[in-house]
Structure 1
Amino acid sequence: MKIIDAHLHLFDLQAGEYRWLSPDNPPFWPDKPVIAKNFSESDLVVSAPDQLSGFVHIEAGFDNAKPWREADYMAQHCHMPFRAVAGFDLLAGNNQHVISELLKRPCITGVRHILDDEAASVLNDSEAKASLALLAEAGLSFDAQLSLYDTAGVQALSAVAADFPAMSFILNHAGFPLADKNIKVWQDNLKALSRADNIAVKLSGWEMHNRQWRADDIAPVVNTVHQYFGESRVMTGSNFPLCTWHSDYDAFWRTITEAVPAVCAEKWLSENTLDWYFG
């Protein structure tokens, strides 16, 4: 099966900053040392009959002040087809300059501001809305990372998606469904987001809230995402190298290729990522 990984990170600790990987900085995960090392394209190995045909690199804090430098590094060191999602501060005041630099790099097709618990306050901010308007005008997408147990954050995301209907918004890690046992809140908020045609979902990041997740844990999530987002608005990503807390890269994809519905496997595993990120 052809795979285009919709969500991964590569690290070069000698070339970039990656302040969050320092043991002195949050997040204070006890197993952070497992991933606090170099990871390159050569580590992305899958076994036949699966074939990795490309990937989307998500910003990893290489240089937060000049986020385009991460894409420059990727362009110099990667040989596989890829697209990059650059780091971006929606609340910063110099975003026209940043966007101008991002647009000079054809591999950059979108940006991410990690929203997490601040989703509502950030997305409702007038400065953030001004930044989103600039991003929309530039034709860049926005990777939204927030919990779907945060209803206020979901409402704010729905509002900005409605404000910028020509802009693509891509929900990271399916909104962390494994973060809480009250799955109905997640389901209801996922359904609310599904009403916006310009929002897509990435199935990824399972290990963020369950290092020992099993196929049975994600099956109801996969079914619900399929129910609400259908065949054309769902992508699959590894969140490499964080997925290695659970299993190696090859084993991860063996599990995922078996978990996705057969009727939309080609779309979810590769074609939709081409449509939403590669253009």
Structure 2
Amino acid sequence: MPDTHGLVDAHHHVWDLDVRPQPWLDEPAHEPIRRTFGSLDLRSAATRPIAGRRLTSTIVVQCVASVPETRDLLALAYGDPLIGAVVGWADLTSPAIGDVLDDLRSGQAGRYLRAVRHVVQGESDPHWLQRPDVERGLRAVGERGLGYDVLVRSHQLPQAVRLAERLPELPLVLDHAGKPPLAAQDLTDWTRLVRALATHPQVRCKVSGLITEADHEKWTVDDIRPVWDVLLSAFGPDRLMFGSDWPVANLAGGWNRWAATVEELLDDCSGTEIHAVLAGTATAFYRLAPDPTDPTDPTKEGASCS
């Protein structure tokens, strides 16, 4: 019998090019998504259920290093019941980081700020996350009860491991599984580093952004499965969360094709494990309003993920 409970998309973006440029979209490969995308577009795109669950809540994530963008995302979340939380941006290196975060969290819309992110994948410093000013900023994030989304490429994963070691009190979630080099088909170093990161209990991981790391035109479920197997064994289902990375996912098949892939990957999981990946982990990490119809019985029957 299909599961009719809710589905949380833990990672998507919106942008209005008439309001705020997105310079990263100027790259030739991004031409197919070089237009405005809003939450209504997401509703139109995300029509396929996963394991019988339809989209009921999302987390919208920053794109550019801009406090005004974060304010716009908070206002959007305040006015759109689909968006349950915002991952925003603030300058972690600023001596005024605490004041900026407090200001962002003020007012009715401010309560939707649940985490911050910086595009570390664009930083050339191989120790950026260990800079003293960055660590001071991250401590300010944790002191305010916020989480931190870690966006790094696979070769930058050592920074994420050191961050987890140095700040064990800071809730972390690894975006896009650390961008495994699926197109290169060599997961050896990525596997070792992800397993090291997963030994730190404050770390969660998003099952997102994988199809754009693979061959955009030719990828199959079998290409994604080795990454899924590593994530499942390293983190367990109760520390994994589904994310679409829409509309970036449109470069490699779109929301519905990724949803179908995730459903296939979850085929050997129990109902409780499916709930964790599709709603429970994200709900807990981002402190979303719980779905009162979701299962809470850990003994629900079903085969374990394997």
- Residue 32 of structure 1 deviates from its aligned partner by 1.3
* Distance in structure 1 (CA, Å) of the matches to 2:74 and 2:19: 11
**How big is each residue's C-alpha offset from its partner over 1:80-134, in whole Å with a ceiling of 9 and x where there is no partner?**
1421000233223431222112222011100001111546321121100110111
Alignment match, 2:282: 273
Q: What is the aligned partner in structure 2 of residue 220 from structure 1?
A: 226
Shift of 1:67: 4.3
Q: Quick one: distance in 1 between partners of 2:88 and 2:48?
A: 29
What value does the CA root-mean-square deviation take over the aligned residues? Answer: 2.0
Instruction: Give the drift of 1:77.
Output: 4.7
Deviations 1:2-38 (A, max 9, x none): 32001100122223332333x3xxxx2x231211112
Q: Determine which of 143, 154, 157 is the counterpart of 1:154.
A: 157
The structural deviation recorded for 1:76 is 5.2
Distance 1:119 1:70 in 2: 30
Query: % of aligned pairs identical?
Result: 23
- Are residues 1:110 and 2:115 paired? yes
Alignment partner of 2:99 out of 90, 97, 100 = 97
Q: 1:150-209: CA deviations, max 9, x gaps?
A: 2xx433322322332222111111011125432111110011001100111111112332
Change (3 A) 1:156 1:32: closer
Q: Is the CA contact 2:60–2:83 (under 8 Å) kept in the aligned structure 1?
A: no
Write the mapping of 1:149-188 to structure 2, written as runs, cut at 5 A: 150=155, 153-177=156-180, 178=182, 180-188=184-192
Name 1:209's counterpart in structure 2. 213
Query: SS of the counterpart of 1:244?
Result: helix
- Hey, what's the Cα distance between the residues in 2 that align with 1:124 and 1:81? 32
Q: 1:257 to 1:138 in 2, by over 3 A?
A: same
Does the alignment pair 1:194 with 2:198? yes
Counterpart of 1:129 in structure 2: which amino acid? E
Q: Does structure 1 retain, via aligned residues, the 8 Å contact 2:211–2:224?
A: no
Greater displacement, 33-42 / 213-222: 33-42
Cα 1:103–1:126 change in 2 (3 A) is same
Deviates more, 1:260-269 or 1:168-177: 260-269
Is the CA contact 1:59–1:86 (under 8 Å) kept in the aligned structure 2?
A: yes
Tell me: CA distance 1:118–1:89, structure 2 relative to 1, closer, same or farther (3 Å).
farther
Q: Which residue of structure 2 lines up, in the alignment, with residue 70 of structure 1?
A: 72
- 2:54 is the counterpart of 1:51: yes
Counterpart of 2:160 in 1: which secondary structure?
Answer: helix
Give the AA of the match of 2:77: A
Q: What TM-score results when the alignment is normalised by the length of structure 1?
A: 0.88
Q: Deviations over 1:202-228 (max 9, x none)?
A: 111123322132111111111111101
CA deviations over 1:39-84 (Å, ceiling 9, x no partner): 22222332354310101101022x7143432323413552314210
Q: Given the alignment of the two structures, is residue 142 of structure 1 paired with residue 151 of structure 2, yes or no?
A: no
User: Matched residues in 1 for 2:14 and 2:83: separation?
Assistant: 14
Aligned pair in 2 of structure 1 residues 65, 248: CA closer, same or farther (>3 Å)? closer
Distance 1:51 1:127 in 2: 42
Q: TM-score, normalised by structure 2?
A: 0.81
